[in-house]
Amino acid sequence: MPHQLLTALPHDPLLDLAPWVGQRQATFQFHLFNGVSGVELGEIHPLRGATLTHDTTRVIKRQLNLSLGVADTATVNTLTDRVRLSMVFPNGASYPLGVYMFTDASREQYTSGQLGTMALGDEMFLVDQQITAGVSGVGLATTNIIRAILQGLPIRYEMEPSPFQAMEAWGSGTSRGQVLEQLSITGDYFSPWFDNNGVMRFIRTFDPASRLPDFDFDAHNRVIREPIILTDDLILAPNRFVVNSNSSGDTSLEVTATADVPPTAPHSVTQRGFVVASVQNIPLFDVSQATAVAQGLARRKTVFERVQLTTPPDPRHDSYNVIRWQGSKWLEIGWSMALTAGGAMSHLLRKVYE
């Protein structure tokens, strides 16, 4: 019986290869524009070797690395210019891959001019600067504090609702990225990121086991290149997450919660026979918030069984995608794409226990 494809993302004939198709044709466009005025400045054309990486463990999730020829190196103003990246197919279809700011640049001098080696990050680089005044979020809604932290910044963001309150404060000089990371934990969000459309996203933590996969790697010709590498940290991986708080809306109540990994997991308390605990002390409002945070930490902070594999590039991948592979569900926690025609895309997936 043929494999039945059922995914959250609709079928795309350009990207979901038919069983008899092993490759496709596409290219990448690098649109340069002034990030202050918004004026379009045309295209730049990197030399071979440009790469784009996405890593959910970093504050600035995406990094674009490229080398520029003499003309493009002279054209770029690294202080004001930004790059809008897209993947383009011969029929004119275009898929966005984010907006990037220059974060590091070096220029090598030749008799013909200068060649540039550039590193760019997504617009979290703009966000992740030090705050100039202290911020107190004690007793206020997490969503309201996030809005206040981002107020006035020239970015777009989307935030799912959260019922939880903050119980923390931050002094001047703290990086905004650190503040947002702590608020994402207490608000039960995954770590925030800038998506393919250049929008900052705050999504609530979810159980990947209960989600319809975004991609089905068991269908079509997806995993076709390079060795498939399986690793794990099961020996040291915690199987119980404990959250304690020394602050509360009601000082007479103890704020603590525990979340165990599913008993089907090979390192669970049931399977292993003893507890390997991860204890976090976080200012929280009540037990319901502590419970959500403990469950969220179990979903977003730990890595157990991992697989690294390679596919053709697919611009629909973003952050925290759920993928079906070899009959199991996996959560994507990182990827890297070679930005050249015929290049490959590597994926780092974490196994989901149901």
Other C-beta atoms closer than 10 Å to the C-beta of 216 total 19
DSSP string, 257-292: EEEEPPTTSTTSHHHHSS--EEEEE---SSHHHHHH
On average, the pLDDT of the chain sits at 88
And the tokens for 300?
A: 């977003």
- Per residue in 12-31, pLDDT tens? 888 887 766 656 788 999 99
Indicate the pTM of the whole model.
Answer: 0.86
- As a whole-number percent, the residues of the chain with pLDDT over 90 amount to 54
Query: What is the pLDDT averaged over residues 136-144?
Result: 91
- CATH architecture assignment, domain 129-202: 3-Layer(bab) Sandwich (3.55)
Residue 122: pLDDT above 50? yes
What confidence tier does 1 reach under pLDDT thresholds 50, 70, 90? very low
Kindly state the helix (H) or strand (E) to which residue 28 belongs, with its residue range.
Answer: strand 27-34
Q: Domain limits of the chain?
A: 129-202, 234-300
Q: Which of 73, 178, 194 is closest to 128 using CA atoms?
A: 178
CA atoms within 13 Å, Cβ hemisphere of 152: 3
